[in-house]
Each structure stands twice: as structure tokens, then as C-alpha cells.
Amino acid sequence: MHVIDAHCDTLLAIRENKEDMQFTQEKVKMLGMTYLQFFAMFCHPTLLSQDNGFNKSVNLLNDMLTLYQKMTLKYSYNKILFKEDILAFEKKQKDDNPSVFSLLSIEGVYLAKSDLSYIDFLYDHEVRCLSFTWNPSNEFASGVNQDSCKGLSSLGRKAVQKCNNLGILVDVSHANDQTFYDIAQTANKPFVATHSNSRHVCPHKRNLDDDMLKILAKKGGLAGVNYFSDFLVAKEENRVAEVDDVIKHIEYMSSLIGTKHIGLGSDFDGIDKSAIKDVTKVPNIINALLKLNYKEEDVKDICSKNMIRVLKEVLNEG
Ligand SMILES: [Zn+2]
């Protein structure tokens, strides 16, 4: 089975020499699956407010760009840049050597300040999936930490159009509710929440409520189910989530919007309490769904085909 994981923080974890990584080349190889991993670049917005914070953040971004190039070269990852690349991923047969594909993404465009051409810079450096904010707001959009009715700025609206034209997938995972609705109104291509769950099942602002999930589906996008405990089980339950909790979110979303608008977004190497130990345990989700009598086709949709559909619609030809 092909698997696409729409979010991990592995690049930053490598940069910080983190131990016990959840996604590594050795681990993904053990799976023996054709696997597409989205690798997110993330500079914490608080770094910007430190002395010389802007330069420190630029250096960090450059380090992650370099790391991505080194890693993809070293392990011969197939980079997803254009429509033909996702078609190549789709066409990989079971008997072919299993291989790893990669897509570079970014969480937050704080370094742009208010310069729209930063999006071009990211595109030129192979970024193909982008969220305007992490949790705090910026000149483009309001993040989940902002409860107000502010959403996308006029600059943010232009940026959505720019992403649609360039062939960059827009990600709403860290957007506040108003930003979500503004993106839904502005985007003329499907958009996704790369790593967010159902707010009905777990009331957390990083998750999507029923209305948002319905809109996401109507626009042709998907929500990538996140394995982070805090987004899977309510705080009051005071426990670490398990695979069954991931399944609960998939079950609820399936009943609400069907299986065509659900994906996977592990958040590997960015979270401390994970329902899935590491990438080698992803088959546990697949097996749990099959045990629940999900048709193999539905499981394939969730694991990769839905995101393939979205990327085919969003990416341009090279
Ligand atoms: Zn995130």
C-alpha cells in the first residue's frame, strides 16, 4: 500500500540533533512501502523577537533548506515538485523497489514580513505546501492563537491566489477559524489541513469543527489525521492516545464527510506524546481500519489516494 504523510518536523529535529527520531531513513525503509513524506520547515516565531532574531531565523531556514537537499540526495528521495512527480508516485507498482518520495513544506511565512515575493522565493526553493501562520498571527493571516474575527489580510488573499497560480498547496492546519473561512472563500483550488483532527471528537482549537470539515470536503481538500495525543483525546481524559483514538477521528470524519477527504498527518518528530510510536507503526492504522471492515479501496484513499487527487489538482506541470 502507498502511504502519504502530510506533516513531520523531522528537518528541525535533525537540525537540533534530536535523539529517538520518529521518522528516519532506516525506519521508513523497514516498512517496505512506497512512501511520500511531507517535510515541514519551521522557525519558531519567538526566535524573531530575540536579539538579532530575524537573522537567526533566516539562518535557521537556510539550514533546513540545505538539510533537505542533502537528505534527498543522500537517500535518493524522489522530490515532488510537479504534477508528473505525483503521477510517478501513483504509478509505482508493488513489485518495484519500494521508494521514498518527499515534498518540502513550510509552517508560517513570518520571514516574509509583508513581501509577497517571499512566496516566489519559497517556490524557487522547492516548497510545494505552505501554511501562512503557525499559532501566532502575522501580516498575512491570523493563527489559532488569535480568537478575534480577523482572518486573512488583503496581502494574505493575494498570497492564496499566488499559491494557487504557482502550484503550492495551501495548508490551514494552524489557521484560526476566520482565516480558514477566508481561505475557503479565496482559494480556487483544493486546500488541506495537513495535520488536524475533528474538534467534535477532541475539542481543541487546532482541530476542525464539523462545518469546517464539510467546507474542506466541498472544496475537494482533506484533513490529515494527526497522531498527537493533545489533538486526539480531550484534556480531561488525562491519558496518552492510542491507535484506537486515531481510528475514532477517522470514523467520525468518515461518517460526516465520507472517506474521500481524509488523509494522514503524523506530526512525527514535532510531538512528545504520540499515539503511533514511529513510522514503522503506521501499518497499525491500516490494519485497524481493515479490521473494522473498511474496504481496501477506502483505506487506500485515506492512506494516499485522496492526497494524490489533491496534489494532481494543485501542482502545475514542470
Ligand atoms: Zn504544526
CATH number for position 283: 3.20.20.140
Which structural domain, as residue segments, surrounds residue 79?
A: 3-314
Predicted confidence at residue 304, as pLDDT, reads 98
Query: Quick check: 244 and 219 in contact, CB under 8 A?
Result: no
Compute, in angstroms, the gap from residue 105 CA to the centroid of ligand 1. Answer: 11
Q: Is the pLDDT of residue 208 over 90?
A: yes
Tens-place pLDDT, residues 141-189: 999 998 778 999 999 999 999 999 999 999 999 999 999 999 999 999 9
Span 293-317, pLDDT tens digits? 899 999 999 999 999 999 999 999 9
- Domains in the chain: how many in total? 1
How much distance in Å is there from the Cα of 96 to the middle of ligand 1? 33
Distance 172 CA to ligand 1 centre (A): 10
293 CA to middle of ligand 1, Å? 31
Cα-to-centroid distance, 13 and ligand 1 (Å): 13
| pLDDT tens readout for residues 28-76 | 999 999 999 999 999 999 999 999 999 999 999 999 999 999 999 999 9
Q: Where are the alpha helices (DSSP H) in the chain?
A: 10-15, 25-31, 45-48, 53-74, 83-91, 117-124, 154-166, 177-186, 210-218, 229-232, 243-257, 282-291, 296-300, 306-314
Query: So what's the pLDDT on residue 95?
Result: 64
What number of other Cβ atoms are within 10 A of residue 113's Cβ?
12
Look up residue 234 and give its three cell numbers: 480531550
